[in-house]
A and B are shown apart, each in its own frame.
Chain A
Amino acid sequence: MAALRSRKVVELFYDVISPYSWVAFEVLCRYQTRWNIDLQLRPFFIGGVFKETGNKPPALLAAKYTYAQHDLRRLADFYKIPVKMPPMERLMRRENVNSNRLLTAVTLDCPEHLENLSRELWMRVMARDQDITEPASLETAATAAGIPSDTTPQLLSRIRDDDVKAALKDTTNQALAYGAFGAPTIVAHIEGTPVMIWGSDRFPLLAHLLGERWEGPLREMAKY
């Protein structure tokens, strides 16, 4: 009988206001059926990471923002993910933290909905240029993600709870402890050692470190 290799844990720290986080999310969701990994989704707060590290959102530099618009258009085609760089005023809204808190509440209360809700929030803000800060927006997203509508009001109210705020802060601090300075932050646990990788452009390296094969974008597995 072949020995069962235990799955390697791969943590994905992400913020739904980060377009490159969506790319990493979809790629890892596709590869969790190909690689012997245990993908753990960790919604965090990129604003907290920038504050702690002194790093700045790349979008604040005009040349980088312009480049990212082209880059994401090409990546959208390459990966078959309908991602677009949102307008600056959506990127910079302080109330974006509401969506981080909602995802944290889902992580605590009904984690089976975390993947779908994350995807739905990205679809709103990145594909359809829709709001993800207002209660009505978040309720619509929760319902679209398959969360039963009788539980959504209670779930939305959790955004203001202390334990949810603390859990979001805690997850963000965990990412910082791994050396994070941006999003997405991927932490692969390889033979007991956490290996932190930043961005959505290190998948061939990640495969190499995990002892797996990179098979490209796997567009046929796109959910769009």
Chain B
Amino acid sequence: MAAPTRKSVEFFYDVLSPYTWLAFEVMCRYQQKWNIDLKLRPFFLSGIMQGADNRPPGMVPAKATYMGKDLKRLTDMYQVPFKLPSNPAEVMFIKGSINAGRFLTAVDMNCDQYLEELTRQLFLRIYYRDEDITEPASLMSAAAKAGIPEDLAKQLLSTIKDQAVKDRLRQNTQAALDHGAFGSPTIVAHVDGKPQMFFGSDRMELMAHMLGEKWYGPLPELAKAKM
């Protein structure tokens, strides 16, 4: 009997979003357990916020306070080495992620075998070591840790202002908006020919149910994020 075709699961994300790291690591663990084809789709969170007329949740003080505690508890439980940056507002609202998003896009377009690890290395910079992700040197450092050969990384970095790269990032952002996105992560699981959009990092058990797969919890033994 033919093996059932893998179900496509699109993961639209911006490394600026802390809950996105949690969701990303969970999906990377589960792509080893579930019959899915995980497609990473870097997008631009600022563009999503604009397109959906949304605001970052951290702008409500009581929510920001809660999110710090929530992220610590969840990342402890899931064994993701998360640490809130010393100045989260500066990281999230001022410095932003446009260069990182375009660099991830360039990698996706040219050598997507590195996309997962580059994504992870950018998360480790921003949300474990409290390091910059906006400067060229920062992106080169993440690329090196992701195993991208230096010449290739340098060449891809030089393309991040090219129209093709900007367009592709914009297309991913628009595709997510067309699915009803208003934040990151936006996960689109294709079930029985229909796209099911899930927002956030807390619909995994429900997604399992809809994919006809089993939920095993955090699966720390399959963790890839190393400090």
**A61→B60 CA distance, assembly (Å):** 15
Residue in B66, B199, B205 whose CB lies within 8 Å of A198: B66
Q: Are B62 and A180 in contact (CB-based, < 8 A)?
A: yes
With both beta carbons as reference points, the residue of chain B lying nearest to A185 in the complex is identified as B66
A66 / chain B contacts, CB cutoff of 8 Å: 180
**A183→B102 CA distance, assembly (Å):** 37
A74 / chain B contacts, CB cutoff of 8 Å: 196, 206, 210
Interface residues of B in 189-207 (CB under 8 A from A): 196-197, 199-200, 202-203, 205-206
> Is there a chain B Cβ closer than 8 Å to A57's Cβ?
no
Q: Are A53 and B197 in contact (CB-based, < 8 A)?
A: no
> Is there a chain A Cβ closer than 8 Å to B65's Cβ?
yes
> Is there a chain A Cβ closer than 8 Å to B154's Cβ?
no
A202 / chain B contacts, CB cutoff of 8 Å: 70, 202
Interface residues of B in 208-223 (CB under 8 A from A): 209-210, 215, 217
Residue in A64, A179, A208 whose CB lies within 8 Å of B54: A64
> Is there a chain A Cβ closer than 8 Å to B73's Cβ?
yes
**A218→B196 CA distance, assembly (Å):** 23
With both beta carbons as reference points, the residue of chain A lying nearest to B217 in the complex is identified as A204
**A127→B52 CA distance, assembly (Å):** 28
Shortest CB–CB separation between residue A187 and chain B, in angstroms? 12
> Is there a chain B Cβ closer than 8 Å to A63's Cβ?
yes
B199 / chain A contacts, CB cutoff of 8 Å: 67, 71
**A78→B205 CA distance, assembly (Å):** 10
Q: Are A63 and B54 in contact (CB-based, < 8 A)?
A: yes
Q: How large is the interface on B (under 10, 10 to 19, 20 to 34, 35 or more residues)?
A: 20 to 34
Q: Are A179 and B60 in contact (CB-based, < 8 A)?
A: no
> Is there a chain B Cβ closer than 8 Å to A167's Cβ?
no
**A64→B62 CA distance, assembly (Å):** 20
Q: Are B66 and A179 in contact (CB-based, < 8 A)?
A: yes
Shortest CB–CB separation between residue B184 and chain A, in angstroms? 13
Q: Are A55 and B197 in contact (CB-based, < 8 A)?
A: no
Q: Are B205 and A216 in contact (CB-based, < 8 A)?
A: yes
> Is there a chain B Cβ closer than 8 Å to A70's Cβ?
yes
Interface residues of A in 44-64 (CB under 8 A from B): 53-55, 61-64
Interface residues of B in 122-162 (CB under 8 A from A): none
> Is there a chain A Cβ closer than 8 Å to B175's Cβ?
no
Q: Are B61 and A75 in contact (CB-based, < 8 A)?
A: no
**Could you pull out 19 A-B pairs where Cβ atoms are within 8 angstroms?**
A53-B60, A53-B62, A55-B63, A62-B52, A63-B53, A63-B180, A66-B180, A67-B197, A74-B196, A74-B210, A78-B206, A179-B62, A181-B62, A181-B66, A196-B66, A197-B70, A204-B77, A205-B77, A214-B217
- Interface of A with B (CB < 8 Å)? 53-55, 61-64, 66-67, 70-71, 74-75, 78, 179-181, 196-199, 201-202, 204-205, 208-209, 214, 216
A53-B63, A63-B180 provided; 4 other pairs, C-beta below 8 A?
Answer: A54-B60, A55-B63, A181-B62, A196-B66
